[in-house]
Structures are given as structure tokens and as C-alpha cells.
């Protein structure tokens, strides 16, 4: 059985979508959810699905080997960042080469980098009068949103679309594609 560990910082809708997708599969499952926010809704979602979850602070994540040791003990087949906003420590990236992926709510390399997440991205896309946007699933490296691109999906933007409308279109792409790409990577 392939094992997936998810890192998330917020509500966890993508994490829950991944959990539900793999609940129907026999070859893989989500075995742990980690969050850097004590009150993140993703922790409630993990509990609702009886998946172990753990909260950690910045010191534990960046200045100790605790999270890396935890991951090494599990030895997951894939580490999935689903709305996780902190830069990943180089030690973890080094210990899990090509096993850490992220989803970004834009067509990288556009609208990537520090501070470009969530509504910040959608507001910038609308402000710049883009005609399309989408999602990018990529490997995680030592720089924000610069790892090798695995997959992109696009959606059109209408001139009347608000950042909230764009967010809804992008979320649909995330829900439809992220679990499928995860499954493909696990089967390679």
C-alpha cells in the first residue's frame, strides 16, 4: 500500500478531496496530515476521517530534525503540499528527492514566489487582465514555486470575472486534477 503524507495550512478542502479519492482506492491512502496552524480546519477534516494529524510550529519545522525524522519513520511514497504556505527545509527536500509535490493556483512561472498564494494570486491575475489561468502541480525544491513542473491545467477568464470567480474556477481544476496526478505519480 502506497503512503501519502499531506501538509496543509488552512481549510483543507484539497486535502479532504485527496483523502476521499484514495478512500475508494486499494493501492494508496493518506496516512498522516501535518499542519503549521493549530486551529486549521484541515486537522478537523483529518480527525473526521480517522487519519492521524499533527500540528507543529516554525521552530520544530525549521530548526530541528523532528519533522524530518517523523517522515523518515513513515517513509511515505509521496509528500503532498495542499495549501501549505511555508518554505520546505532543504534537509527534507534532500532526503525525499522527487517525492514532494505542491499545487499552485496559477500557471507557473507566472504568479509564483513568496506571497503569491490564494486570493493574492487571483487578484493579481484579474488586475493584469489575464485571459487564462489555471493550476500547476510541481516538485518542491529550495525555492518557492520553482520546482520542475509535473502538470498544468488551464481555465479561461472572462472580462467580468472577479478574483472570487477566478478562485472558484481554479478550485474546480484542483479538485478534478490533483488526486489523479498524485495517483499517476504513485504508479510510476
Q: What is the pLDDT of residues 146-158, one digit of tens each?
A: 999 999 999 999 9
Decide if 137 contacts 103 (C-beta within 8 A): yes
Q: 147: Cβ–Cβ under 8 A, 6 or more apart, which residues?
A: 102, 138, 139, 140, 141
Instruction: State which H helix or E strand residue 126 sits in.
Output: helix 118-127
C-beta separation of 76 from 98 below 8 A: no
Residue 171: active-site member: no
Active-site residue identified among 49, 104, 138, 171 = 104
pLDDT given at position 15 = 97
End-to-end CA distance of the chain: 14
Report residue 65 as a C-alpha cell. 530534525
How sure is the predictor about 4, in pLDDT bands with cuts at 50, 70 and 90?
very high
Phi-psi region of 167 (alpha: psi -120 to 50; beta: other; left: phi over 0): alpha
Per-residue confidence band for 96, with pLDDT thresholds at 50, 70 and 90: very high
3-state secondary structure of 133: strand
Architecture of domain 2-187: 3-Layer(aba) Sandwich (3.40)
CA dihedral 96, 65, 19, 121 (to 10 degrees): -80
Amino acid at each position: 500500500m502506497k503512503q501519502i503524507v499531506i501538509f496543509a495550512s488552512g481549510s483543507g478542502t484539497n486535502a479532504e478531496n485527496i483523502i476521499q479519492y484514495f478512500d475508494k482506492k486499494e493501492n494508496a491512502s493518506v496516512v498522516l496530515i501535518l499542519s503549521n496552524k493549530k486551529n486549521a480546519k484541515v486537522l478537523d477534516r483529518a480527525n473526521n476521517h480517522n487519519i492521524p494529524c499533527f500540528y507543529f510550529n516554525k521552530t520544530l519545522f525549521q530548526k530541528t530534525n523532528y519533522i524530518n525524522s517523523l517522515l523518515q519513520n513513515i517513509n511515505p511514497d509521496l509528500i503532498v503540499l495542499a495549501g501549505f504556505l511555508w518554505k520546505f527545509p532543504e534537509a527534507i527536500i534532500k532526503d525525499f528527492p522527487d517525492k514532494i509535490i505542491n499545487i499552485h493556483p496559477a500557471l507557473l512561472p507566472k504568479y509564483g514566489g513568496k506571497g503569491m498564494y490564494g486570493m493574492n494570486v487571483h487578484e493579481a491575475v484579474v488586475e493584469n487582465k489575464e485571459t487564462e489561468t489555471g493550476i500547476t502541480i510541481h516538485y518542491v525544491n529550495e525555492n518557492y514555486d520553482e520546482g520542475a513542473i509535473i502538470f498544468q491545467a488551464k481555465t479561461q477568464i472572462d472580462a467580468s470575472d472577479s478574483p472570487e470567480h477566478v478562485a472558484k474556477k481554479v478550485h474546480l481544476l484542483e479538485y478534478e486534477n490533483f488526486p489523479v496526478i498524485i495517483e499517476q505519480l504513485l504508479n510510476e
